[in-house]
Amino acid sequence: MENKLNIQQTLVDGVNLGIKNIVNLLLMALLYVITIWIPYLNVGTTIGFYKAVISLSKGEAIDPTSIFSKENFKSLGDFFLLLGLQTAGLGAAAMFFFVPAMVLSLAWQFAMYFFLDKGTSPLKSLGLSYDVTCGEKWRLFFTYLLLGVAICLVLLILGMIPKVGPFLCFLGIIAVLPIAMGVEAVLYKYFSAKAEPKAE
């Protein structure tokens, strides 16, 4: 019987991975925020963030300045083609009362990672992501849902602490990004392993 995504273990491993790399990920986020307003460069830094998740999934060290790598600007045409295909597909699915769009967004969640990691074409990347998430969408949905609920509850509790609540809540918000990236990396590692026999 095929193994299915373990939601609890995914969240635990993702949180641990995010915390382990929290300093470098926060530095990367800071560099991203500082440069997001610069045209063209912001495309490369955005791709750099995707690649950071891929690196996390492989247990590689994170270099905050890697978002400025020249390698991020390779295959820009296919990058935008993939984004365009996703946007068009999700837009069309949203016309059917949004539920198909939500399902499709989960199905295509890892297309960009496959494109950047395995060098597959935009269509192949979408197909790979769709295939590996088949039968796993509910688990994937609840993984993201539980992560979101847990984050909201922690921030709510921190915010209610007298005097220091707002400050602690602010720190919690900052810590959310590395944790979210850690969970995403663990998810990609799992689905990437499922895709190995199918990747070209």
Ordered by start, the domain boundaries in the chain are: 7-193
Q: Could you tell me which of 180, 187, 197, 193 has the C-alpha nearest to residue 18?
A: 180
When comparing pLDDT for 3 and 81, which is higher? 81
From CA 54, how far away is CA 147, in angstroms rounded? 20
Does residue 199 have a pLDDT over 60?
A: no
Express each pLDDT in 109-123 by its tens digit. 999 999 999 999 999
pLDDT confidence tier of residue 1, bands split at 50, 70 and 90? very low
Across the chain, what does the average pLDDT equal?
92
User: Whose structure tokens read 């979101």?
Assistant: 148
**pLDDT for 136-147, tens place per residue?**
999 999 999 999
Mean pLDDT along residues 161-189? 89
Using CA atoms, how far apart are residues 141 and 84, in angstroms rounded to an integer?
23
d(CA 172, CA 116) in angstroms, rounded, equals 30
